[in-house]
Structure 1
């Protein structure tokens, strides 16, 4: 484990010395103690800490909350408040500095260690997220096409420079406004209004309702320039539609080749259907694929579904931390993806659950294929030993095209697998009456 450095800001000397001793015994480098804001700034300037333990009541004109805000702004360091004050007004002020922890004195060493580890991990994740967002913004700004993102209420979230040029509205002016704002361009700028017309809000609303991408083309009257556009749903990791991307491009001079347009569209589609953490398909993509294959199953195509649940995943998160939990999920996804056939389909079902659609196989073959996947997962050794439980069911026309009932049958088998010892494969015992009419 890295030896993280800790700056203690505490004006009670005995308390500070006790904290320093506890932290050092836990393996941290409690390298400095400060009793005032100025002293805290000086110690942080000498050596930027990995985390700051901050008492709210300290010596000097600045209290701990104001000091924490300055430290975060100047040094980008996570703050854990350690205080005896828990009144509503103090907590409300502290929350505005977005701390990574808030502990009440006296604090146990285990609580202190957990708070420090979680705060450092969260801070690293936030830095990584900021880097990703910066890369995303730079990518958008490099495009010659107009890109506008909206939230689930059709309110503008982001616009790139090209979109600002098309509409005449700056992002700062448009952010938070309804998408209808784009139909009211500033004087002298009429491209988007003429291209998309009044149908744009309806298009966005339809995409937010059903997740289906809409495309079209239009011409701007005064100049005769043509534009192509698309509206694509933004989907989160559990398959919820949380917004949409509006992509507007000038096709008058074919600025982009057909290949470039196809690559961009494929990239947007991949973002909408891929689980960001594991790289396999997400829940939305699974639902679409299941709907398709159930229709094929009603016409006689054989297939089976396996649901997989990582055993004792909470133990991994609690014992090793969320970073180790994420690593375990990535390893499980890779084991599944690398050991299925090219015709099979792997997706993250949600949380610590995955699913595999086996095509053109009967139930017995699907059980054998699933047992192989179980063994591959059981071979994982990093970040710890990992096992998984599986439920399997082959599709039959007795389900009468009811995808939800089919999934319920598989889920029941998975529950039995977990209940009867984990790290096993259970075949569904659900039997649909073949004599039922559709």
Structure 2
């Protein structure tokens, strides 16, 4: 018995049961079988399987391709399509969802097993590569000379580098997995009102976003630090947003210089007027 869980999405019950028997004979577990796209989305969220076998044609008004698109919006789960249709339009739509395999019905157990093993192997390699990349990125971010906070796609904090820890007052272990709004609190310098956190803007729009000049960071100890902020999305090879990186800079020194310059200018004006 392996640890992998495979969910079956198939609207023909007899076919679904045959696939289930085959999977269990291969040593996989089957947490559930569903026949509609709506149920597939819900069960994927609940069971978080390692792989989904998705029939393209399903009962109801949502086919397997559309269900896969929605699942991929919320969960990073590989999908193998099962279909009796091989027309170019269907294949083109399916390719856009980056499936891990495409099996034409009717199929033999050997073909099913081979596709599953290849998909799970590719997935394992992706995870290994992702872990290596994360370790490399974390090492880089921890040693860079700017304050940086990274989050996942839900806006939960994953990394707070040393300079960001100093400015926010939160250590890495305290901030980890908390909503970024709790760690990175910003207000408008002029109004004192809370400013929309750049993370949500980046997640919603999938693009760079900045806050400048009038933004103030409120630390855990209630220290006020004027900052410039730049947020950017983290995307995978399928252009899906996996998280964000927020880079911010303490601009206190710049503010002091600007203030001194303004005071000097006003003082000069007054002297000039007095001499006249």
Higher relative contact order (CA 8 A, sep 6+): 2
